[in-house]
């Protein structure tokens, strides 16, 4: 059975940089498990690793889809499984890194995901339903998914309802697990996490995050679609439409990122296989990883 390392945790804890360091130590390659970094051009706003930051470590599933199109969890599963197989065939260790818990659990066998086709009739019915009502409906159909989903993302809510209506509540554990997984979780203190979120948001603004959003819109990405691409792009879209000031945008965005981090932890804490570390204690995690992989040293 293929061995896989999974590095998970909330946003802004340094998972990506730790993943690169770990890959350099054990001969690994990174498989990104981020539902937004798959999109071309969503770079600064998603914290996508630059070539320099990758430090020569191969990365997979970055910038593979047009942001005008929807990249589904089924698309991710197909590409992710192919990447794991290819990395293993090269004699390297696959390291899955990310905070998109639903995607990670689907890829690594913790949740069963069927390729449910779009239901045009249901989508039409839900067009006029309010966000609050969509959340109530999802809580009835799939309480676990409702607890961790972005409650303001209409597209994801409708898709989750679509899947739940077809399959019933999605099982927590799949009947078959294809990989042997060593789960590493990174969880700093709340104060440290909030400080990281604040500093990262300011750094991304300084790096040109807002200009990136302007460019995406200027090259054909609608504000409506931008609002579906995660918190940063949703808030930047509303700002660029003139609905709030830059200060208001940043204040509200930071609050929502904190809430998102809490939802991420709610999801990951259900997985009792994850070994949690309060920070990326590199030597300790490396020692346990090498033991799991039966490596010397």
With a pLDDT cut of 90, the percent of the chain lying above it is 79
156 or 107, higher pLDDT: 107
Mean pLDDT for 203-217 is 99
Rounded to whole angstroms, the Cα distance separating 165 from 81 reads 26
Mean pLDDT of the chain: 92
Rounded to whole angstroms, the Cα distance separating 75 from 115 reads 9
Residue 242 has pLDDT above 80, yes or no: yes
Six-digit token pair at 157?
């809510």
With CA atoms as reference, report the closest residue to 44 among 236, 293, 271: 236
Please list, in sequence order, all residues whose beta carbon lies within 8 angstroms of the beta carbon of residue 184, skipping any fewer than 6 positions away: 5, 6, 7, 8, 274, 275, 277, 285, 289
Residue 243 has pLDDT above 70, yes or no: yes
**What's the pLDDT score for residue 175?**
37
Does 282 fall in a domain? no
**What's the pLDDT score for residue 115?**
66
Mean pLDDT for 103-120 is 82
Model confidence at 297, in pLDDT bands (50, 70, 90)? Answer: very low
Instruction: Give me the sign of the Cα torsion angle 153, 155, 159, 161.
Output: positive
250 and 207 within one domain: yes
102 or 59, higher pLDDT: 59
pLDDT in tens, 39-48: 999 999 999 9
Rounded to whole angstroms, the Cα distance separating 161 from 17 reads 35
Residue 225: which CATH number? Answer: 1.10.287
Rounded to whole angstroms, the Cα distance separating 103 from 106 reads 5
Does 222 fall in a domain? yes
Domain of 131 in residue numbering reads as 116-169
Does 46 fall in a domain? no
Does 272 fall in a domain? no
Q: How many domains does the chain have?
A: 2
pLDDT in tens, 11-55: 999 999 999 999 999 999 999 999 999 999 999 999 999 999 999
Does 54 fall in a domain? no
3-state secondary structure 14-31: CHHHHHHHHHHHHCEEEE
Does 95 fall in a domain? no
Rounded to whole angstroms, the Cα distance separating 230 from 243 reads 18
CB 183 within 8 A of CB 130: no
**What's the pLDDT score for residue 172?**
45
Q: Tell me how far CA of residue 60 lies from CA of 37, 111, 247, 254, 256, in angstroms.
A: 10, 22, 35, 29, 28
pLDDT in tens, 141-198: 988 888 888 899 999 899 889 888 876 654 444 434 589 999 999 999 999 999 999 9
Does 65 fall in a domain? no
Strand ranges (DSSP E) for the chain?
A: 2-8, 28-32, 59-60, 93-97, 179-186, 275-277
Burial class (CB in 10 A: 0-12, 13-18, 19+), 56: exposed
Does 244 fall in a domain? yes
Q: Tell me how far CA of residue 184 lies from CA of 4, 17, 36, 143, in angstroms.
A: 11, 14, 22, 26
180 or 72, higher pLDDT: 180
Strand ranges (DSSP E) for 85-213?
A: 93-97, 179-186
With CA atoms as reference, report the closest residue to 21 among 53, 60, 62: 53
């Amino acid at each position: 059975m293929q061995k896989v390392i999974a590095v998970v945790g909330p946003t802004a804890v340094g998972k990506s940089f730790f993943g690169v360091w770990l890959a350099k130590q054990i001969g690994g390659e990174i498989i990104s498990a981020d539902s937004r970094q798959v999109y071309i051009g969503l770079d600064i706003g998603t914290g996508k690793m630059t070539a320099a930051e990758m430090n020569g470590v191969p990365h997979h599933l970055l910038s593979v889809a047009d942001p005008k199109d929807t990249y589904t969890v089924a698309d991710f599963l197909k590409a992710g499984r192919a990447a794991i197989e290819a990395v293993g065939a090269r004699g390297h260790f696959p390291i899955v890194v990310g905070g998109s818990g639903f995607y990670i659990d689907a890829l690594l066998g913790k949740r069963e995901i069927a390729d449910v086709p779009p239901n045009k009739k249901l989508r039409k019915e839900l067009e006029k339903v309010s966000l609050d009502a969509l959340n109530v409906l999802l809580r009835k159909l799939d309480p676990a998914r409702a607890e961790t989903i972005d409650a303001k993302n209409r597209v994801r809510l409708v898709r989750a309802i679509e899947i739940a209506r077809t399959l019933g509540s999605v099982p927590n554990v799949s009947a078959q697990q294809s990989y042997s997984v060593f789960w590493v979780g990174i969880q700093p203190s709340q104060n440290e996490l909030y400080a990281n979120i604040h500093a990262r948001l300011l750094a991304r603004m300084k790096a040109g995050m807002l200009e990136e959003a302007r460019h995406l819109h200027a090259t054909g990405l609608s504000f409506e679609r931008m609002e579906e691409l995660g918190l940063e792009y949703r808030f930047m879209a509303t700002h660029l439409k003139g609905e709030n000031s830059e200060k208001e945008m940043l204040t509200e965005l930071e609050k929502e990122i904190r809430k998102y981090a809490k939802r991420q932890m709610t999801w990951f804490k259900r997985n009792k296989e994850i070994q949690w570390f309060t920070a990326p204690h590199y030597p300790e995690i490396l020692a346990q990883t090498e033991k799991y992989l039966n490596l010397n040293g």
